[in-house]
A and B are shown apart, each in its own frame.
Chain A
Amino acid sequence: MLYYIVRRILMMVPTLLVISFLTFFIIELPTGDYISNQIAALKSSGESSSVAKLEFLRKEFSLDRPFFERYLVWVGLWPGPHGFDGLIQGNWGWSFEYDKPVEQVIGPTLPLTVVLNFATILFVYVVSFPIGIFSATRQYSWGDYGFTFLGYFGLATPNFLLALILLYFFNRWFGLSVGGLMAPEYIDQPWSFNKAMSVMAHLIVPTIVIGTSGTAAMIRRLRANLLDELHRQYVTTGRAKGLKEGRLLVKYPLRMAINPFIADIGNLIPSLVSGSVIVSVVMSLPTVGPVLVSALQSQDQFLSGFILLFVAILTLIGMLISDLLLAVLDPRIRLGGRASS
Chain B
Amino acid sequence: MSLETKDTSPREVEHYVDPAPFNPAVTEELTAEQERFYQASQWKIMWWKFKRHKIAVWSGVVLILFYLCVPFAEVIAPYGANTRDSNNLYAPPQALHLFHEGSLVGPFVYGISSKIDMETLQWVFEEDRTRVQKVRFFCGGAPYKFWGLIDSTFHLFCPAKGGTLFLLGTDRLGRDQFSGLVYGARLSLTVGLIGVTISIVLGLFFGGLAGYFGGWLDSIIQRAIEIIRSLPELPLWMALSAALPVTWSPVWIYFGLTIILGLLDWPGLARAVRSKLLSLREEEYAKAAVLMGAKPGRVITRHLLPGFTSHIIASATLSVPSMILGETALSYLNLGLRRPSVSWGVLLNEAQNISVVTVYPWLMAPVIPIIIVVLAFNFLGDGLRDAADPYK
What residues make up the interface of A, taking CB atoms closer than 8 Å to B?
A: 15, 18-19, 22-23, 26-27, 29-31, 152-153, 155-158, 160-161, 164-165, 167-168, 171-172, 179, 267, 270-271, 273-275, 277-278, 281, 292-293, 296-297, 299, 304, 307-308, 311-312, 315-316, 319
A267 adjacent to B229 (CB under 8 Å): yes
Q: List 30 A-B contacts (CB under 8 A).
A: A15-B226, A19-B231, A26-B240, A29-B240, A30-B243, A153-B375, A155-B378, A156-B321, A156-B371, A158-B329, A160-B332, A161-B371, A164-B348, A164-B367, A165-B364, A165-B367, A168-B358, A171-B354, A172-B358, A270-B230, A270-B231, A273-B235, A274-B233, A274-B234, A293-B238, A293-B335, A296-B242, A297-B242, A312-B231, A319-B230
B378 adjacent to A315 (CB under 8 Å): no
How long is the Cα–Cα vector from A267 to B268 in the complex, in angstroms?
Answer: 11
**What is the minimal beta-carbon distance from A25 to any residue of chain B, in angstroms?**
10
**What is the minimal beta-carbon distance from B352 to any residue of chain A, in angstroms?**
8
How long is the Cα–Cα vector from A308 to B239 in the complex, in angstroms?
Answer: 8
**What is the minimal beta-carbon distance from A20 to any residue of chain B, in angstroms?**
11
Q: Does B227 contact A (CB under 8 A)?
A: yes
Q: Does B361 contact A (CB under 8 A)?
A: yes
Choose one: B227, B233, B328; the contact of A19 (CB below 8 Å).
B227
B227 adjacent to A281 (CB under 8 Å): no
How long is the Cα–Cα vector from A164 to B366 in the complex, in angstroms?
Answer: 12
**What is the minimal beta-carbon distance from B276 to any residue of chain A, in angstroms?**
14
What residues make up the interface of B, taking CB atoms closer than 8 Å to A?
A: 226-227, 229-236, 238-240, 242-243, 245, 321, 325, 328-329, 332-335, 348, 351, 354, 357-358, 361, 364, 367, 370-371, 374-375, 378-379
**What is the minimal beta-carbon distance from B386 to any residue of chain A, in angstroms?**
13
Interface of A is mostly: helix
Choose one: A29, A31, A281; the contact of B333 (CB below 8 Å).
A281
**What is the minimal beta-carbon distance from A315 to any residue of chain B, in angstroms?**
6
Question: Which residue of chain A has the shortest Cβ distance to B239 in the bound complex?
Answer: A26
Question: Which residue of chain A has the shortest Cβ distance to B354 in the bound complex?
Answer: A167
Contacts of B233 in A (CB 8 A): 270-271, 274
Question: Which residue of chain B has the shortest Cβ distance to A163 in the bound complex?
Answer: B354
Contacts of A155 in B (CB 8 A): 378
Choose one: A23, A30, A273; the contact of B245 (CB below 8 Å).
A30
Contacts of B335 in A (CB 8 A): 293, 296-297
Question: Other CB < 8 Å A-B pairs besides A29-B239, A274-B234, 11 of them?
Answer: A19-B231, A152-B378, A157-B371, A158-B371, A164-B367, A165-B364, A168-B361, A270-B230, A271-B233, A277-B232, A304-B239
Interface of B is mostly: helix
**What is the minimal beta-carbon distance from B291 to any residue of chain A, in angstroms?**
30
B235 adjacent to A308 (CB under 8 Å): yes
In the complex with contacts A26-B240, A30-B245, A161-B231 CB distance below 8 A:
no
How long is the Cα–Cα vector from A165 to B367 in the complex, in angstroms?
Answer: 9
B351 adjacent to A158 (CB under 8 Å): no
Contacts of A296 in B (CB 8 A): 238-239, 242, 335
Contacts of B354 in A (CB 8 A): 164, 167-168, 171, 179
A158 adjacent to B232 (CB under 8 Å): no
A297 adjacent to B334 (CB under 8 Å): yes
A168 adjacent to B364 (CB under 8 Å): yes
How long is the Cα–Cα vector from A308 to B375 in the complex, in angstroms?
Answer: 30
Contacts of A307 in B (CB 8 A): 235
A277 adjacent to B243 (CB under 8 Å): no
